[in-house]
Amino acid sequence: MNVPADLYYTQDHEWIRVEGNIATIGITDWAQGELGDIVFVELPQVDDSLSSGDTFGTIEAVKAVSELYSPLSGKIAEVNPGLDDDPMAINRDAYGDGWMIKIELSDNSEVEKLLDAASYSSHVEQQ
């Protein structure tokens, strides 16, 4: 299982890369593996506002359809345009080309509630 140490994680299997007040969000390598081949992703629009815990989209795979939850509050700054034509980029490169959204954080203190790599790995092992 690939769990990069420089990222944050949620119990819902999202990863978060924080750079200044911008957070890039996607699903973890473990999550994409559990879902199987991803065939469609529905994501929000740029400038939409999210609160921590809000649903920001859905991901459809051969095995299941799952909702995506925002781990942080803020405004959508960017949506990955490549996922429209190539949703399987998430399967191939969950932490790179498979990123989903970037949000401009409205409350940086929310980052403190996220899991580090060791805590996330422990969480997955219990599943």
User: Are the beta carbons of 8 and 16 closer than 8 angstroms?
Assistant: yes
Q: Walk me through the domains of the chain, giving residue ranges and CATH numbers.
A: 8-125 (2.40.50.100)
Q: Each residue of 48-91: pLDDT tens digit?
A: 999 999 999 999 998 889 999 999 999 999 999 999 999 999 99
- Give Cβ neighbours of residue 120 (< 8 Å, ≥ 6 apart): 3, 9, 28
pLDDT band of 126, cuts 50, 70, 90: confident
What is the side-by-side order of every strand in the sheet holding 74-79? Answer: 8-9, 14-19, 22-27, 101-105, 74-79, 49-50
Tokens of 39: 């065939």
**Is pLDDT at 119 greater than 80 in this prediction?**
yes
**Percent helix, strand and coil across the chain, each to the nearest 5:** 25, 35, 40
